[in-house]
Amino acid sequence: MEPSSTSNVADILGEVYPLTDLRVLDLSRVVSGPFAGRMLCDLGADVVKVEPPEGDVTRLWGRRVAGLPGFYNQQNAGKRGVCIDLKHPDGAGVVLELAAVADVVIENFRPGVADRLGIGWDQLSQTKSDMVMLSISGFGQTGPDFERRAYAPVIHAEAGLIHRQSLFDAAPPVDPMFSMADSYASLHGLVAVLAALRMRDQQRLLGLSQGQHIDMSMLHAMISSDDYMHHTADEHPVVRLGGTVYETSTGDESSPPILLAGEARYVWSQLSRHAGVHDPTPDGAGLATKIACRGAAIREWVSSFEVRADLCTELDRLAIAWGDVHDGPGVLTSPTVVERNVFAEVDDGTGQPRRLVDSPYRFSDASSGVRSRAPHLGEHHEDVFSDWLGWDEATVADLISRTVLLGPEVS
> Would you please indicate which residues are annotated as catalytic (active-site) residues?
182
Nearest Cα neighbor of 268 from 280, 257, 258 is 280
356 neighbors 73 (Cβ within 8 angstroms) = yes
* Amino acid letter for position 111: P
Beta pairing, strands 212-217 & 243-246: unpaired
- Report, in this order, helix, strand and coil percent for the chain, each rounded to 5: 40, 15, 45
195 neighbors 188 (Cβ within 8 angstroms) = no
In the chain, what is the straight-line distance between the N-terminal and C-terminal CA atoms, in Å? 50
Which residues are CB-neighbours of 351 under 8 A, at least 6 positions away?
A: none
Q: 65: which strand partners? A: 68
200 neighbors 212 (Cβ within 8 angstroms) = yes
The three-class DSSP label of residue 175 is: coil
Nearest Cα neighbor of 156 from 130, 132, 177 is 177
DSSP 8-state symbol, 135: E
Angstrom distance (rounded) from CA 289 to CA 287: 5
DSSP 8-state symbol, 409: P
Angstrom distance (rounded) from CA 243 to CA 291: 14
Nearest Cα neighbor of 118 from 90, 142, 137 is 90
298 neighbors 271 (Cβ within 8 angstroms) = yes
Q: 135: which strand partners? A: 107, 215
DSSP 8-state symbol, 111: T
Nearest Cα neighbor of 210 from 194, 226, 197, 220 is 197
Angstrom distance (rounded) from CA 200 to CA 205: 9
Question: Residue 345: phi, psi to the nearest 5?
Answer: -115, 135
